[in-house]
Structure 1
């Protein structure tokens, strides 16, 4: 048995859109998707098959996400629009 907690994290908007779309495609909740990604990465394993990676590439294209792993520690947040 596990215990889940509610967390409030801030993520780049396009990444969230891709993650939500991917979760829907895989018939998972967003939390389940993130847990699976984390567990795979903790062990140095790739969390997605080539087929799923191709779907991710399509979703990134749809949502205009051009960010890559190389950008991960260099993101600068702009002013929010409300």
Structure 2
């Protein structure tokens, strides 16, 4: 399907971005494509967005980058 993409200027927690970039690299896709997929799964209420193998890789990346964030912290982060 043909779409139009726009550039965004979002701010995210530093270690979370590192894990996202590492996951995108692991899956051989762009960060934007990864985020689009995650959002589409979330909007449709489809879980999980990743296979068990990919979730294991994400857990390893979180450990490497010191990312302790999880879904319970959603919408509760402050600077």
Same fold (TM over 0.5): yes
Deviation digits for residues 7-62 of structure 1, max 9, x if unmatched? 00000000000000000000000000000111111111121011100000000000
In the alignment, structure 2 segments of 5+ residues that lack a partner are none
- 2:50 maps to which residue? 48
After superposing on structure 2, the runs of 4+ consecutive aligned residues of structure 1 that deviate more than 2 Å are none
Aligned-partner Cα distance in 1 for 2:35–2:69: 18
In the alignment, structure 1 segments of 5+ residues that lack a partner are 78-82
RMSD: 0.6
Say whether 1:57 aligns with 2:56: no
- 2:6 maps to which residue? 5
Say whether 1:20 aligns with 2:18: no
Partner SS for 1:58? helix
- 2:73 maps to which residue? 71
Shift of 1:74: 1.2
